[in-house]
Structure 1
């Protein structure tokens, strides 16, 4: 197991900087969450993220709290709660951003339904320019 960043602080909303391959494809994002935390031992590719408010993923709404995004290989991620209970396997596509940052970066869909939690579109680990884009059904 290698060290990765585990979120211990609340997410901080910031204006999104940089250009991603998703934007080049015509998708636009309003904001990103930058996450800072302390190191903990986890499997390589796994991410522990704490959300200060509800968020949504394809077919899944998550309450505020800590979740582990487990790398399932072959473009799949398993979402677990902080106790390890599995919620759902999600399909992803590889995506690229222009500049890597030292923090987690989570991109949200600008066109979320009214009164619905923001949809996570893509996630990037610290120091990585390659990330995962979640696959949503067509609207």
Structure 2
């Protein structure tokens, strides 16, 4: 009977943390950081794929928006809010960093370069969409 009472008493104690906390926003993020935010259910973010349209159509992070790097500076101000959290990824970390810098220079306040891009996203089991699955 004491085992039952101990279980009841343990259940009465407040949980330390019933749900996971979302990842902190930073100028460079890992795929795990982004996945944590999505798993947490935070809708106030945008994922931008700066690769060419063929690569985007082939496979992309679920929910990503296509803005090839050569169109980024022209299209972003027309379609994105300057205070929204933006995650950017491309074919390489260098291209990703350049795109993030372009968005920051264009007045976007919260831009994060997704380190490792699509391969890193897939390595942690992130959901993708497109022709390849």
Pairwise same-fold verdict (TM > 0.5): no
TM range (shorter): under 0.3
Q: TM-score, normalised by structure 2?
A: 0.26
Bigger share in strand: 1
By relative contact order (CA 8 Å, sep 6+), the higher-ranking structure is 2
Q: TM-score, normalised by structure 1?
A: 0.26
